[in-house]
Amino acid sequence: MDFLLDNDRAPTPGAIPPIDFRALLNDEQFNAVTAEPGPLLVLAGAGSGKTRTLTYRVAYLLSKGVKPSEILLLTFTNKAAKEMLHRVHDLTGVEPARFWGGTFHSIGHRVLRIHGEAINLPRNFTILDADESESLLKQAVEEQDKLFFKDKTNPRPGPLFSVLSLSRNTQLSIDDTVVQYFPQYSEIKMALPAFASAYAAKKREQNVCDYDDLLEHWLTLLIKAPEVAAYFAHRFRHVLVDEYQDTNTLQAQIIDKIATHHRVMAVGDDAQCIYSWRGADFENIMTFPERHPGTVIHRIETNYRSTPQILALANGVLNAQPKGRHFDKELRASRANAQKPLVVQCIDDREQGDFIIKRIRSLMEDDGVSANEIAILYRSHFVALETQLALSKAGVPYQITSGVKFFERQHVRDLVGLISFVYNPSNQTGWNRIAVLLPKIGEKGAQKIYSAALDHAKLMQRDFIDALATDDVKSKVPKDAKDEWDSFCSSLAEVAETMKNDKPFKVVEMAIDGWYGDYLRGAFADYIDRLEELKAMVGFAQRFDEMQDLLAQIVLMNGETSDRKVDPDAEAIKLTTVHQAKGLEYDVVFVIGLADGMFPGRRAIEAGDVEEERRLFYVAVTRAKNELYLCYPKVATRAGPGGMLLQPSRFITELDEKLYDPLRLKRSFGW
């Protein structure tokens, strides 16, 4: 087998302890690990031992006399690289430091330090952190258009950086990036290319690189310095890539430029490509055989995680994919038969939460299942609001592993602060929360304005909210905030008027539609997702007739959850988005909010592209080891009085009904 080129030296005899690969690996893993060098695409299904396969491949190469320095291992986290190389060390005794192994960005940095001068990048360049990158971008933009950031609907430096970063990593035009991922910025997209150019020029002037430059400059180096590309192709005789389905356009091109010898093993699963919003390109894994002629595909399909019944449903999800747009694979179980997954129809989110509480208690008290082995998964944060409330009220400890609890999220707290202040203008905490969102207003400035408004309201015997809009108070407002002040005061007044005449949910709607909604658009790149979460507040508010009851309940909920701070090591139910759950596993999984428009999401349905959402559903169901509950509400509580009827997710209805058991709840949960 052609593992070594002519000038390679075999390691000293006996340097690598003998490893019985045949005994330690199943047939599929063994075939991939011992495959002849060349282009190899290893399709590793969920729970099939992907990391084990990569680790043993490195050990196998070493056992054949390949030098550690001739192996390049690319991963997406430093943790993954360290874990694999330490396992290799345990198997072979070869120290991790002898390999080039790490994330794309860390390897890119290493390459540029050595060879960057070939593209006029001085070796003493410094790397900007996220805050420094945004600060430099802000300077570049203001030199081009000093009023750009004055408009609160325009993206602030952080969201603007996200737009430019995604464009660079996907190599899409800025125009296409905005249309596809950031439609809230469509009106100003023509101004952005000039900002990107000015930012790039500033980095060159200051001899600095941001995080994305480590990939962009690396690719430029491989293209413009062919002698450097040839050196790396000769040095790294074997390139191994983990989670290949998550590569973006830059990363895939870097691999292709280095592995011109086609001795590359790409390990991944097209069915788990779920990060397009971060730049991952599904086409990279699908076109790998075309870009690397002679590719041998190895399928690792034996699953050691889940029951046959859960895997049968997972295979049903795979079979629903469009023909020709995926690699065929079928997960096979190594475990004994158990119960089928249950599809649970609930009346609404509240009943869904009540069912989950009752079932969790039964699992823990009757079946002895640890809280740590129970997970509740969802597509978007707002879907989990009612479940969080139910868990808190029931005193069941839980952890949000993909962020903070709903009412502790920044934009939710902002909105609640605004409403709370309007309801009670004496609430200076609520005032400070929203006033500091205005340009150049800090806590001291907010207090100064508040005092002026309070004095004026007393002197003129006016309502405090009305006093804010007077010229006397406006004179205390910093110059940079004056442009927003009128719309800010007008929005507060509209919320106050609505509060006098309408139900609390109407007040929440008015607050979202006013000044804060405009602020949200400019403040967050994920504006659309955050707006969805705020709209979930409308549904929550529908259960209250009085504003004081709504605000009191929110405070009580926060108090209850804050009082029960969960020790990271203590047992607790895990709540997480499906994206964050990838790579994890639990004895029992509840997937909630499985209704069309929620999972798959409304935007994916309207765009006519639900395939990534289907892959996300596949990831969700394959997290479960023993029991799987697929839950959906019949009525959307966010749709206004009376709610809106929902249909079960198409990902459920397209499955063969033999793959699951339906469970329709009775009011008493007498199932």
DSSP letter string, 48-98: S-HHHHHHHHHHHHHHTT--GGGEEEEESSHHHHHHHHHHHHHHH---GGG
DSSP H or E segment with residue 103 = strand 100-103
93 is in an annotated binding site: no
What is the model's pLDDT at position 667?
55
Q: What is the DSSP letter of 35?
A: P
Q: Does residue 590 sit in the same domain as residue 658?
A: yes
CATH number of the domain encompassing residue 504: 1.10.486.10
CA distance 627 to 259: 43
Half-sphere exposure of 453 (CA within 13 A, CB side): 22
Residue with tokens 């690189």: 209
402 is in an annotated binding site: no
Q: Does residue 424 sit in the same domain as residue 515?
A: yes
198 is in an annotated binding site: no
Q: What are phi and psi of 343, to 5 degrees?
A: -100, 115
Q: Does residue 111 sit in the same domain as residue 239?
A: yes
Helix axes 504-513, 527-541, angle to 10 degrees: 160
Residue 615 in domain: yes
Q: Does residue 280 sit in the same domain as residue 339?
A: no
Q: Does residue 150 sit in the same domain as residue 73?
A: no
Residue 4 in domain: no
Residue 10 in domain: no
What is the model's pLDDT at position 568?
60
CA distance 27 to 33: 10
Contact 635, 583 (CB under 8 A): no
Q: Does residue 91 sit in the same domain as residue 198?
A: no
Residue 453 in domain: yes
Give the residue from 206, 224, 244 where a domain finishes. 206
What is the model's pLDDT at position 406?
83
Q: Does residue 437 sit in the same domain as residue 542?
A: yes
| Total Cβ atoms within 10 A of residue 143 | 12
CB neighbours of 513 closer than 8 A, spacing ≥ 6?
none
Contact 266, 42 (CB under 8 A): yes
Give the domain extent around 630. 309-403+568-664
Question: How many independent structural domains does the chain possess?
Answer: 4
634 is in an annotated binding site: no
Structure confidence by residue, pLDDT tens digits, 178-237: 999 999 999 999 999 999 999 999 999 999 999 999 999 999 999 999 999 999 999 999
SS3 content of the chain, % helix, strand, coil (to 5): 55, 10, 30
- CA dihedral 394→399→403→404, nearest 10 degrees, is 50
Residue 125 in domain: no
Contact 669, 355 (CB under 8 A): yes
Residue with tokens 């397009």: 276
CA distance 670 to 476: 63
Q: Does residue 271 sit in the same domain as residue 340?
A: no
Positions of the chain with pLDDT lower than 50, given as ranges: 1-10, 13, 561-564, 639-641, 668-671
49 is in an annotated binding site: yes
Q: Does residue 605 sit in the same domain as residue 479?
A: no
DSSP letter string, 9-25: -PPPTTSSPP--HHHHS
CA distance 198 to 566: 47
| Total Cβ atoms within 10 A of residue 377 | 30
Residue 123 in domain: no
Residue 164 in domain: yes
71-75 sheet: strands from edge to edge: 100-103, 71-75, 238-241, 264-268, 40-44, 296-300
Say whether 355 sits in a helix, a strand or coil: helix
Give the residue from 533, 558, 583 where a domain finishes. 558
Which residue, among 579, 655, 573, has the nearest Cα to 623 in the 3D structure? Answer: 579
Q: Does residue 418 sit in the same domain as residue 341?
A: no
C-alpha distances (whole Å) from 281 to each of 128, 163, 169, 248, 403 are: 26, 16, 10, 5, 25
Give the residue from 514, 537, 558 where a domain finishes. 558
Q: Does residue 224 sit in the same domain as residue 339?
A: no
CB neighbours of 110 closer than 8 A, spacing ≥ 6?
100, 102
608 is in an annotated binding site: no
Write b or e for each residue in 341-371: b if 16 or more Cβ atoms lie within 10 A of its Cβ, otherwise e.
Answer: bbbbbbbbbbbbbbbbbebbeebbeeeebeb
CA distance 172 to 276: 13
Structure confidence by residue, pLDDT tens digits, 590-625: 999 999 999 999 889 998 889 999 999 999 999 999
118 is in an annotated binding site: no
Helix axes 527-541, 410-423, angle to 10 degrees: 50
DSSP letter string, 375-417: EEEESSGGGGHHHHHHHHHHT--EEETTSS-GGGSHHHHHHHH
44 is in an annotated binding site: yes
Helix axes 428-435, 410-423, angle to 10 degrees: 130
Q: Is 120 exposed, middle or buried (0-12, 13-18, 19+ CB in 10 A)?
A: exposed
Which residue, among 208, 210, 218, has the nearest Cα to 108 in the 3D structure? Answer: 218
Half-sphere exposure of 133 (CA within 13 A, CB side): 19
Helices (H), 78-225: 78-92, 104-115, 130-144, 157-170, 174-181, 192-206, 213-224
Q: Does residue 579 sit in the same domain as residue 641?
A: yes
| Total Cβ atoms within 10 A of residue 497 | 14
Residue 190 in domain: yes
Q: Residue 669 — left, alpha, or beta (φ > 0 → left; ψ -120 to 50 → alpha)?
A: left
What share of the chain in percent tops pLDDT 90? 78
Give the angle 533-535-541 at the CA atoms, nearest 5°: 110
CATH number of the domain encompassing residue 280: 3.40.50.300
Helix axes 527-541, 515-523, angle to 10 degrees: 140
